[in-house]
Copies of this chain bind each other. A is one copy, B any other.
Amino acid sequence: MKAEAEALDMIGDHFRRARLAAGLTQEQVADLAGISRPRYRDVETGAAAARATTLINVARALGLEMMLVPQAMVPAIEALLSPEGEDDRPAFSPQAEGDDE
């Protein structure tokens, strides 16, 4: 399976967890993000590679933010996001490959 598809699934799972934690429906989040419900569903299920602007709008609708960080800093940031041994899966793990598929 492509590493790209895995990343999309991880993003979708992250959004879904955030949405359920906020007690929102798919339609509510889609409306907040300014996209249609079928399209937000695609994002949650990883069925489509949404545009950058769509990703940013969805993230912000859920109280999240997209960040670009050096790969070497990812572990430290993940530790900062889950101080207690929580299994929160804070972001889509890097897998540290670096290149293309």
| Residues of A near any B CB (own CB < 8 A) | 4, 7-8, 11, 14-15, 31-34, 49-57, 59-61, 63-74, 76-77, 80-81, 90-92, 94, 97-101
Contacts and interface: CB of A to CB of B under 8 A. Distances in A.
Contacts of A8: 52-53
- The DSSP consensus for interface residues of chain A is helix
A53 B101 CA distance: 10
A85 to B, nearest CB: 18
Contact of A50 (B11, B52, B68, B73): B52
B63 A66 contact: no
Q: How many copies does the complex hold?
A: 2
Task: Determine which residue in A14, A54, A94 has the highest number of CB atoms from chain B within 10 A of its CB, and name it.
Answer: A94
9 contacts: A49-B52, A51-B52, A64-B70, A65-B68, A65-B70, A65-B74, A67-B68, A67-B91, A77-B77
Contact of A71 (B65, B80, B90): B65
Given A34-B101, A67-B91, A100-B33, A52 B55 contact: yes
